[in-house]
Amino acid sequence: MSKKSVGITGIGASLPKKIVTNKDLESVVDTTDEWIRKRTGIEERRVLEVGQNLSDLGAQAGKDAISSANISVDEIDMIIVATGSPELIWPSTACLVQQKMGANSAAAFDLQAACTGFTYGIDIACQLLSSGGYKNILLIGAEAMTRYVDWSDRSTCVLFGDGAAAVVIGEVEEGLGIISSDLGADGNGSDLLEIPNSGSAITHDKLGDVIDQTIKMNGADVFKFAVRVIPATIESLLNKSGVMLEDISLIVPHQANKRITYSAAEKLGISKEVMVSNISKYGNTGAASIPLALFGLENEGRLEKGDLIITVGFGAGLTWGSNLIKWSKTS
């Protein structure tokens, strides 16, 4: 039996209403709007307010994606939430999203590959659907990154934002959809980007201790890693797919830093215009950044049926991955 074609059939997004600009941060930490723009490309980011939770964003993004796919919530068999900032350790954010959506027919679990989570999720969903055991999978990238930010650390607090975006993945016209993926990890770099004391490794001698659970990053080494791994995983993906780089319409990278994106483009020998960037509006939204960018491209009419695109993620772990997709969603 031939493998069926599966791809993105619906897409949605949800963002907090609160916007924090670089100018706002000037009153919080020793930095300037000019410095942030020059070093990162970020101008503003969205921030969850008190009383709003990650599952609220995920559920709304999921509902929008289901509506976009023209199916009912009861037709979703599986919910996968890719997140590095879960609402709770347990239950999973996916189960909280399932309850808020009323998706009672769906299994649900979280996927933790940090900022590469959505890229991993694309391949996992593809494999599950290709097995014939599922028909429609809802993959959500959702992050509450600002809940893990040290607002006195100017090297990290300027980078991150909150948001969620979702895709429905299901059967599509033959020849379209998800063609292949390339995934990788290197735990030897686990100390370069981490949130300490955020799991069972927490150690303290007495109740009431203040535990540091904020993002710690070796920025220089993470930059070098990202600029190296983006071209490497794309080249590996193309080699296994038998596709030429010049056939690719757009590359949609994880939105971590505009200098990373453009340095990777230079290494690949492609124009900056091929590398999609929306970091100026949202900052680094972790596993949500790629689907948010896809949502923007779809709404702007920049994706046409049959376009070859690459999504590429990288992040803590260290993890990385890329997906080759022949666009199947039609507005």
Mean pLDDT of 223-243: 97
Render pLDDT for 20-35 as a digit per residue (tens, 0 to 9). 999 999 999 999 999 9
Q: Which of 22, 136, 284, 323 is catalytic?
A: 284
Q: Are 154 and 36 found together in one domain?
A: yes
Q: In 3-state terms, what secondary structure has residue 94?
A: helix
Q: Alpha-carbon distance 168 to 70, whole Å?
A: 10
Instruction: Identify any residues that bridge with 311 across adjacent strands, giving them in sequence order.
Output: 252, 323
Structural domain for 299, as ranges = 178-326
Predicted TM-score (pTM) of the model is 0.96
Q: How many CB atoms lie within 10 A of CB 3?
A: 10
Question: In this structure, what CATH number is given to the domain that contains residue 160?
Answer: 3.40.47.10
Q: Which of 95, 157, 254, 257 is catalytic?
A: 254
Q: Going edge to edge, which strands form the sheet with 250-253? A: 177-185, 319-326, 308-315, 250-253
Q: Which of 115, 126, 157, 323 is catalytic?
A: 115
Render pLDDT for 100-156 as a digit per residue (tens, 0 to 9). 999 999 999 999 999 999 999 999 999 999 989 999 999 999 999 999 999 999 999
Residue 294 has pLDDT above 70, yes or no: yes
Cβ within 8 Å of residue 169, ≥6 positions away: 6, 7, 8, 9, 122, 125, 126, 129, 136, 137, 138, 139, 178
Beta strand extents in 102-233 (DSSP E only): 107-111, 136-144, 162-171, 177-185, 193-194, 216-217
Render pLDDT for 238-265 as a digit per residue (tens, 0 to 9). 999 999 999 999 999 999 999 999 999 9
Render pLDDT for 31-56 as a digit per residue (tens, 0 to 9). 999 999 999 999 999 999 999 999 99
Q: Are 155 and 217 found together in one domain?
A: no
Active-site residue flag, 136: no
Active-site residue flag, 115: yes
Active-site residue flag, 254: yes
Q: Are 38 and 182 found together in one domain?
A: no
Tell me, yes or no, whether 1 lies in a domain.
no
Tally of structural domains, the chain: 2
pLDDT for the residue 1: 37
Cis geometry, peptide bond prior to residue 86 (ω within 30 degrees of 0):
no
Question: Ramachandran region of residue 161, left (φ > 0), alpha (ψ -120 to 50) or beta?
Answer: beta
pLDDT band at 203 (very low <50, low <70, confident <90, very high): low
